[in-house]
Each structure stands twice: as C-alpha cells, then as structure tokens.
Amino acid sequence: MPALHPDVGDLRVRDDIEDLTISVGPHHWHVSLSRFDQEPQEQQVIRAADEAFDDVRAVLADETIIRLRRTDGRIASTMSYGLDYDRRWPLRSDETEYLWSGRITGTARGAVSRALLQSKALMYAV
C-alpha cells in the first residue's frame, strides 16, 4: 500500500511461509506461525493471519508509532509500539517518530498523549 505520507514509507505484508513480515518503510516485524505452535497447523495459519490483520489495522488507524534513529543521516535502528504502550523511552535528539499519517511533531506528540489519556480514561470508566 503506498505511503500516506512520504516520510513514513509504504506498507507491505509478505508471506515468508513460516511467518508474515509486515513492513512500514524501513521498519518491519514478523508474525510467526510458531507463536501458535500449540494449535493445529491450519489454525496456526488463521491465527497468524488474524494477528497480522490486526497489526495492519492498527498502523492504518494511527495506533502504531514507528520510531527511527538516525546516525550520520542514515537510519541506524527502528522500533514500533502501540499508542497505549506506557513505558516508552523519551525521544532522543537523533530520533523521529511517525504515525501512518506522518511525522509526530511537538504539537502532535501532545495530541497523541492526550488521546492516550482519554482512551485510558474511557477504558477505566466502562
């Protein structure tokens, strides 16, 4: 799927037989069949596909943050986490964070934090 914002990069899902590889620009992660090895093989495939679908949905819904660290202008490392992950490290000067819709700037970071607090408040109010 072509990138919504050019700085983020295209979204791809690749079937590597034993796992599904999801990538957003330079960042990627795997949903492995082995995570469900207690299930029959047919069920492993279904469970992995369901999890990959949920991961892609979270990216497209701007619920997944992708953090890039650059060294000498090149990407040195990447990581991702959900909006609701509450133990993330402070952003370093060589790091940039993105949602599917684009870069998270200082103002957007505040909006993301407010949205997270509101979603947690709603979750506990139910």
Quote the tokens at residue 8: 């983020």
pLDDT per residue as tens digits for the range 15-72: 999 999 999 999 999 999 999 999 998 999 999 999 999 999 999 999 999 999 999 9
Domain boundaries, the chain: 1-126
State the pTM of this model. 0.79
Quote the tokens at residue 71: 């060294």
3 state SS of 22: strand
3 state SS of 104: coil
In 3D space, the residue among 49, 58, 3 whose CA is nearest the CA of residue 26 turns out to be 3
In 3D space, the residue among 20, 97, 106 whose CA is nearest the CA of residue 64 turns out to be 97
pLDDT per residue as tens digits for the range 4-22: 888 889 999 999 999 999 9
Alpha carbon 41 to chain centroid, angstroms: 27
Quote the tokens at residue 116: 């997270």
How many Cα atoms sit within 13 Å of 96 on the Cβ side? Answer: 15
